[in-house]
Structure 1
């Protein structure tokens, strides 16, 4: 074999890439966000007036809302539960992608745990939402309020805290392995911090409210997971033996 052939073979060995077998992370993240926002749209002020009640609303306002808009709430729950199945797929696929790229850290397992807990808690929240649409449930104010506050706890702080851990774990792995740009990593750490601060909302009503920590975790994380899904490498270099 001449020198040129040797160089060509060596280049082929270095340049050969192996592609990860699994769903496209960017597409999965996009489906998750679109389904969730579609569900949310049915309980905003555009579809119901007023919009979905906040936890500091009066008991009468909360009960009246679910008595007045059961159909919109049911559709919202239907679409949102579908989105969280997709979030579980995203979390599992992300863990598989990191392992494929060579991650051996326990943070991969922590990230998978956090992603699945996020999906589970939010799923519980929307099942509570669905339960409130059944005839007769909202005729009992105490029953309605119990289900509503479980809905809020699991879908508010119960979503934001594990989502913060999920985003933070991805950022940490991406930084250590140099798989993600610095601006993605640092924005992920900010989202993670806000998510963990949302834990303090569970001390209500004994603590002053921190309501913005939940939406500031939820909505930036939507854009963040889509971007990460599209830019995380899909292939790795392999040598031919």
Structure 2
């Protein structure tokens, strides 16, 4: 084997596992900071005055939590691109990797914009305009809650489906990923059906944990067959 072919088979890009861990850790840190600093958050469609009062009363922990969530958005995008490159290296030539890349980049960008909107609200809430504050808060929820969950679902589906078909990871894990992905896609209905908002933390936290396990189990390369092992089928 030539030096060039040896280099071409080395896994490229950053390691997937640490990227998934950093993304999940920053996500958890942001949520813990928000809950510790505010006690609770108003419902997305709570009265405008209640939403504005919440932002005004807890500006600092909200800004810190938004900063941590923004930090989580960056490694998520890098993870999506790295997984896509890994899948191509594994010889996955189906739409799954592109769908996963699209979902991961979308989730990363939507979360990034959502956190900036949240940070902006907490940095300068106008007590005289609770309606404007509530509208921006709902925009942040739509981007970083529902939009993020839909994108995350596509990312997980783009990994789980090829992994299930090609047996790149245990099938039970791929099936679990498909369940989480389905929850992410159904979560868009939470914009009109409040009870379905329960799916959002399931996708955010369950999906983040699933990505960690999948990132470590996804093989860096498919084993190359020994050319000396030629079967009758190969010669036909």
**TM-score normalized by the length of structure 1:** 0.85
Which of 132, 142, 159 lines up with 1:170 in the alignment? 159
Residue 143 (structure 1) aligns with = 132
Which of 89, 104, 108 lines up with 1:115 in the alignment? 104
Task: Between the two structures, name the one with larger relative contact order (CA 8 Å, sep ≥ 6).
Answer: 1
Which of 190, 204, 224 lines up with 1:218 in the alignment? 204
Residue 15 (structure 2) aligns with = 24
Higher helix share: 2
1:200/1:210 contact within 8 Å kept = yes
CA–CA separation in structure 2 for the residues paired with 1:106 and 1:221: 21
Which of 209, 217, 220 lines up with 1:234 in the alignment? 220
Residue 136 of structure 1, CA deviation: 4.5
What is the number of equivalent residue pairs in this alignment? 222
Higher Rg: 1
Which of 38, 49, 57 lines up with 1:48 in the alignment? 38
Q: How large is the Cα RMSD of the aligned pairs? A: 2.2
Residue 238 of structure 1, CA deviation: 4.5
Residue 29 (structure 2) aligns with = 38
Q: Secondary structure at the match of 2:37?
A: coil
1:132/1:138 contact within 8 Å kept = no
Residue 142 of structure 1, CA deviation: 1.5
Residue 90 (structure 2) aligns with = 101
Q: Secondary structure at the match of 1:212?
A: helix
| Alignment of 1:153 onto 2:139 | no
Residue 240 of structure 1, CA deviation: 9.6
Residue 125 (structure 1) aligns with = 114
The CA deviation string for residues 104-156 of structure 1, in whole angstroms up to 9 with x for no partner, is 11221111011100111111111111111223445421210111010111111
Residue 66 (structure 1) aligns with = 55
The CA deviation string for residues 70-125 of structure 1, in whole angstroms up to 9 with x for no partner, is 11111111111111000000000000000111111122111101110011111111
1:208/1:130 CA distance change after superposition, 3 Å: closer
The CA deviation string for residues 162-216 of structure 1, in whole angstroms up to 9 with x for no partner, is 21121112111111221011111110111011111101112x2xx4531211112
2:110/2:147 contact within 8 Å kept = yes
Residue 6 (structure 1) aligns with = none
